[in-house]
Amino acid sequence: MWTDPRIARLLTLISGGLRPPAGVERIVLAIGMGALCHTVFAAGVLAMIVAIFFGLSQSLGTVPWPWAVLANGALILQFPLAHSVLLTERGRRLLARLIPGPHGATLATTTYAIVASTQLLALFALWTPSGIVWARAEGAAFWLLTTAYGASWLILGKASFDAGAEVQSGALGWMSLLARIRPVFPDMPVQGLFRLIRQPIYLAFALTLWTPPVWTPDQLALAVSFTAYCVLAPRLKERRFAARYGAQFARYRARVPYMLPKLTNDRTNAQ
């Protein structure tokens, strides 16, 4: 287990953080950014879990209708747009400049997680509910959908771990700064759920959108919009992977399907 690179990377970061080199300002900055990152991350994820579970029927937004349509539309668009832009080379340079001083580049993954989590928190906390509820599951249907919803989140957590928990959570930046080491990004993910499909994170996120026990026009708008994003956005990610990993990614792409697992193995297909 300890030789698993997914765990070994985390242990290296934790070990370095437990014995940080001297530098009070650096240590304070690292711990402060870490606390902010994980607080906002937890708040954003919790808001998302609760809001989707109730079909976006409960939130804090109070924009009057019909202006709420524009406000909610802006909340939907702001996340995928910024999410995709900040993953580009220009976006990474911007993230490195958001923290003044010499540590901006090291903290880039932490800064990115703070921005993305704040976007999610804004989306789900500031949404203005329509007040219309189409369906609310009860009895066995409620427990079936709730189980599917919970399973979708567990799959999302597993996929995030397989991709590199330290990157997905924003821990890589602040923990590397604390240990005063260069951030080491995971190699191209091929373990765990990435053995079955190339985009398990996006698939799992899409599953969370379609399994809540409460359905409203709000939830349908979110599900359709973000599912389209989950299907299309990884194409940009795969272009970056193709440029970065070349033949390694080409072989992986030829062997592993995009988002839907194969129902039969290659040997069965050949027969």
Two structure tokens written together for 175: 């923990």
Domain boundaries, the chain: 5-261
Taking the model in full, what pTM does it have?
A: 0.89
Fill in the amino acid letter for 149: Y
Residue positions counted in the chain: 271
Distance in angstroms (rounded) separating the CA atoms of residues 230 and 199: 9
Is the bond preceding residue 66 a cis peptide, omega within 30 degrees? yes
Q: Is 193 exposed, middle or buried (0-12, 13-18, 19+ CB in 10 A)?
A: buried
CB 76 within 8 A of CB 221: yes
Tens of pLDDT, residue by residue over 170-220, are: 999 999 999 998 888 888 999 999 999 999 999 999 999 999 999 999 999
pLDDT in tens, 50-99: 999 999 999 999 999 999 999 999 999 999 888 878 877 788 889 889 89
Residue 203 and residue 45 in contact, taking contact as beta carbons nearer than 8 Å: no
Residues paired with residue 135 on neighbouring β-strands, in sequence order: 215
